[in-house]
Structure 1
């Protein structure tokens, strides 16, 4: 698996003033060159924006439900999920390998 900020290649540049830089979270993206893997960078960015967009929609739905809770500020969660250069999300790409034996499959139940 690997982590990737979905918008900026150098997420530390978009931290709020005075916010500490966490090297494990705010290090720069490193993509294969276009010659090594044509289209990967553009496709990875597009997929990441889709994921963030789904997260934003989910946050809106959660907000809609939580607005019924006394004292919950309207739109509080959705306000934290946004896209664009100032966003500081981290996408994680996981690849799960297929099971090799029936015993492995049975162990998941």
Structure 2
């Protein structure tokens, strides 16, 4: 399935999450986009507290939220659900020296002859 208008919700939720859960004295969020053949990779990195290894998959569950979170527990579930529907993947990596990196990989939309 090609991404639709809900794709904005994916990145809005990831950016909100990176800002709301950042406890650094100087919060920083960096977005990086790369192309690899027919795939697009978007990395949303922050310098917050990070996500423990044993929670990296759990945070995508419905109603899952951090201990100090005031959120609904739906944002990352929506991210995972939409990205999966688009035929992509989302995972969490550790940022160096501190924080989390949410990595979204999606298929690149096809290019028509008139777009070349």
Same fold (TM over 0.5): no
Higher percent of residues as helix:
1
Structure whose residues are more often strand by fraction = 2
Instruction: Give the structure-1-normalised TM-score.
Output: 0.28
Structure with higher RCO (Cα < 8 A, 6+ apart): 1
Structure 2 length as normaliser, TM-score? 0.27
Q: Which has the larger radius of gyration?
A: 1
